[in-house]
A and B are shown apart, each in its own frame.
Chain A
Amino acid sequence: MSAVAGSFAVTRRQFLIAGSGAAGSLVLGLPAIAMADDGDRMIGFFVQIESDGSVIIGSNQPEIGQGVRTALPMLVAEELDVDWDKVSVRQMPLGIVKTAEGYAWKYGGQGVGGSTGLTENWDYMRQVGASARRQLIRAAAARLGVPESQCRTKPGVVICTSSNREIPYGDLVEGAAALELPEDDAALKNVDDYRIVGTKQNTIDARDIVTGKTKYGIDTVEPDMRYAVIARSPVLNARVTSFDDTEARKIAGVLDVFEIEGPEPGEPYLILASGVAVVATSTWAAMRGRAALQIEWSASPNASDSSEKFWRENEAMLKGKGQVVLDDGDFDVAIESAETVITHQYRVPFVSHAPLEPQNCYARVQEDRCHIIAPTQMPSGASRAAAAVTGLPRENIRVDMTRVGGGVGRRLTNDYVAEVAMISNKTGWPIKLQWSREDDVKNDFYRPGGVHEMHAGLDGDGNVTAWAQRLASGSKYYRRPNMPDEELFGAELYIDDFPRRIVDNVRMEYFHNKIGLPRGSWRAPAHTANAFVVQSFIDEIAHETGQDPLQLRLGLLGEEREIEYSGHGGPTFNPGRLSRLLRFVADRIGYGKALPKGRGIGLATHFTFGGYAAHAMEVTIANGQLTIERIVAVIDCGLAVHPNAVEAQLQGGTIDGLSTALGLEITVRDGQVQQSNFHDYPLARIAMVPSKFEAHILPYDDTPTGVGEMGIPSAAPALTNAIFAASGQRIRTLPIAGQLRRNV
């Protein structure tokens, strides 16, 4: 492969994604780097074409089950013009390049969170495919001695229209790779010409998964690898004062035992907690060694934290005045002059991510370099964590990504990468760190819990004229570096959400409660709490003012129009797209039909990070027993690039939302998390899911939104609204658990 071939890898698009500042040096600096790790049948970093016409497409993003490892290569294959059944996919490692201005992306930005995996790469991946196709055409034109305009492609082949000669891509790849990349972008296909994008394709790795061949982080086996576990403090923010490892070291296979220093209380997290590491020749020996440790823990400032205290404090806070973070119009005047005023409080609990693959990571730290193999959503964070622990420059840290056994937001944080790097750094051995399920449930960055107080004022015609949401919670941004207190609300209240700019007088007020539980991003973060609260409250307003819950929502959302939305998923929000979905689910489920006693239908809808979803659910409540009879879910994600995964995400998101609403809560007593495993943190099983479950995709326009988080937020309120319709019992505290009354 020639030096110039590598320069192709840098499209202008990549340059744009790589960020400003590093521009010129990045483009000029790349060819040598490209040569270092690329095969010789590569066109750029992403596309490899074999002589038999098979195509290997690189996937730069972590696959956590959301389907990017299939969807992104579909975009490349579409524009490259190859048959999908000729494509296989190769996972790319983290690519960062040191420049004079700092680190820049080598393969485009990498990391999945906020449902951006597809949207951030939509232009880029199409351009990768289109540019490679253009190089193949140019190579064919040069070989045949004809102008490029006389060449076109059909899948896997360049055709010269004047001579009717055909050359397979496989015969052109070396010539194509040697051509310098033009400065301008290659032309992209029209949506109408798509043959792969928008068609039903299976998960690219499905066969390997069902035969047990796929490697997750936990499956990593490397030469001379040792196994490690860590005993972490049972009390939030307590630290190791001393430990006795006499018995632990007697266990066959235990090689070493040492302290892991944790963060000071209040300090930003690199790892979650202070602890004692046990290194052994097998996972089980390490676990047995850990069980034999005697550890003394320090007193903790959070030793008296409890859920009861937290809820009490939140309710007390709400009696005072908080930080007003949004104040459109004049809420005080509007509520004063309202014909009807409605107020309710809702409680949303802390919950754990509990991805099914417990946290784990492999690290090999050597004197001048480090190798990380991680199940992570944020490989750049893994690189930073390893750099922080080892002091090595990031360009000397290789981060390989495996398929990830569930992300849910937990693996945006790379604390387990830092831990294993610490252990490998200390011992000099290649180490695989393994968390148990108990480690995972008790040491998480939990979705924050909070108490929401809602106020609405209505005029004599039933129009909502005033709206307030007052929230007391533990912000996710707590213990973030350089985060001022007055910005803590931003993780919990998304000020541009419905009904802002729909209702004239809207206020949001925030109170921060500094409970010691670590907090983080849980799939669709604050949307899960706020959709439950807002969609429940709307329902309550409708019932209490004699309005139909569907009509009240439709009246507020109105017809299609773009309104400003400055938060993630913006720059605009089109409430009419929610109206369309609501009408659809209401129609499908037969909203308004006569139902037997004890049966009811509930609706909810929400705009999440740029995507739109709605749910209708029909339930029966008999003698305090809930049966979900039927679910209709719908998503509008713009253009559905990989519809099979869109449907899967909608099904799975809905089930995640229901599972969480039905039974999941993390509680604290005496500074300790009380749950430990799936017996007391009961994720839903198949029996919860009704046989009648429809998941629909309503297309809109020709640009995709993300899909990973949109299916969750409206699921819980659709369920609790259905419970109310069936039984007259309003659920204002999650989880629903044992709240359902028998006497209905």
Chain B
Amino acid sequence: MVSFKINSSEVSFDGESSTPLLWVIRDHLQLTGTKFGCGIGQCGACTVHIDGVAQRSCVVPVAAIDGRDITTIEGLAPSEDKLHPVQEAWLEGDVPQCGYCQAGQIMAAADFLQRNPQPSDDDIDKGLTNICRCGTYVRIRKAIHRAAELSAGDKT
């Protein structure tokens, strides 16, 4: 039995302990915003925050998260009415095309901006490696800069 917190709710899982966190989130908790893309930690579509740090949940066995705190895309916004600055910037820049990778992109960017509040393009190139098959990278880059501005504004 593994117990952990997800989006502020206490949950537990008593299945096979090697099950990747991704499939526990998707199949068992039915939080489907977190996506399956590759299963080997390459694409980042499954990115969630574990204790506030972005991780690719397809390669994290559920056994490793006992007692920890998970945030998924469904839990990123502070409230139903107020989005996270990264979500806000993504909306403003109309980033998504098919949209499938965007939950992972947003979760990765939200964590990245915590560590790099005013990133250069070079920082972005080095720090963000999620795959977008539609090629929304031009707008992603712009949205990250915008999110940095929005976050800075929130703090003042």
Q: Is A593 part of the contact surface with B, judged by Cβ < 8 Å?
A: no
A-chain residues with CB within 8 Å of residue B76 when the two chains form the complex: 211
Which residues of A (352-379) have their CB < 8 Å from a CB of B?
Answer: 354-358
Pick the interface stretch among A73-81, A255-263, A681-689: A681-689
Cβ distance A288 to chain B, nearest Cβ, rounded Å: 7
A406 touches B133 (CB 8 A): yes
B-chain residues with CB within 8 Å of residue A405 when the two chains form the complex: 35, 98-101
B-chain residues with CB within 8 Å of residue A285 when the two chains form the complex: 16
| Interface size grouping (class) on chain B | 35 or more
CB contact under 8 A between A691 and B136, given known A356-B43, A686-B125: no
A648 touches B94 (CB 8 A): yes
A678 touches B131 (CB 8 A): yes
Q: What are the interface flags for A214-238 relative to B under an 8 Å C-beta threshold, 1 for contact and 0 otherwise?
A: 1110110100000100000000000
A203 touches B40 (CB 8 A): no
Q: Is B126 part of the contact surface with A, judged by Cβ < 8 Å?
A: yes
B131 touches A652 (CB 8 A): no
Chain A contributes a number of interface residues (CB within 8 A of B) equal to: 67
A-chain residues with CB within 8 Å of residue B138 when the two chains form the complex: 651, 655, 689, 693, 695
Q: Is A202 part of the contact surface with B, judged by Cβ < 8 Å?
A: yes
B98 touches A404 (CB 8 A): yes
A689 touches B94 (CB 8 A): no
* Chain B residue nearest to A689 in the complex (CB): B137
CB contact under 8 A between A214 and B141, given known A221-B30, A659-B135: no
Which residues of B (123-151) have their CB < 8 Å from a CB of A?
Answer: 124-126, 128-141
* Chain B residue nearest to A227 in the complex (CB): B27
A-chain residues with CB within 8 Å of residue B70 when the two chains form the complex: none
Which residues of A (271-312) have their CB < 8 Å from a CB of B?
Answer: 282-285, 288
* Chain B residue nearest to A688 in the complex (CB): B137
B91 touches A677 (CB 8 A): no
CB contact under 8 A between A212 and B20, given known A221-B32, A651-B136, A686-B128: no
Q: Is B121 part of the contact surface with A, judged by Cβ < 8 Å?
A: yes
A-chain residues with CB within 8 Å of residue B42 when the two chains form the complex: 677-679
In the complex, what distance in Å separates the CA atom of A65 from the CA atom of B96?
8
B36 touches A210 (CB 8 A): no
Cβ distance A615 to chain B, nearest Cβ, rounded Å: 14
Cβ distance B11 to chain A, nearest Cβ, rounded Å: 16
A216 touches B100 (CB 8 A): yes
Q: Is A142 part of the contact surface with B, judged by Cβ < 8 Å?
A: no
Which residues of A (405-455) have their CB < 8 Å from a CB of B?
Answer: 405-408, 434, 436-438
Q: Is B73 part of the contact surface with A, judged by Cβ < 8 Å?
A: yes
CB contact under 8 A between A211 and B33, given known A284-B20, A356-B45: yes
Q: Is A209 part of the contact surface with B, judged by Cβ < 8 Å?
A: yes
B33 touches A683 (CB 8 A): no
Cβ distance A254 to chain B, nearest Cβ, rounded Å: 11
Task: Give the interface of A toward B (CB within 8 A).
Answer: 63-67, 202-203, 205-207, 209-216, 218-219, 221, 227, 252-253, 282-285, 288, 354-358, 403-408, 434, 436-438, 644, 648-649, 651-656, 659, 677-679, 683-689, 691, 693, 695
A–B complex contacts, Cβ < 8 Å, 5 sampled = A65-B134, A67-B97, A284-B23, A356-B100, A652-B135
Task: Give the interface of B toward A (CB within 8 A).
Answer: 15-16, 19-20, 23, 26-28, 30-40, 42-43, 45, 72-74, 76-77, 83, 87, 90-91, 94-103, 106, 121, 124-126, 128-141
With A210-B103, A683-B43 already in contact, 7 other A-B pairs whose C-beta atoms are closer than 8 Å? A65-B99, A203-B99, A405-B100, A436-B39, A685-B129, A686-B140, A695-B138
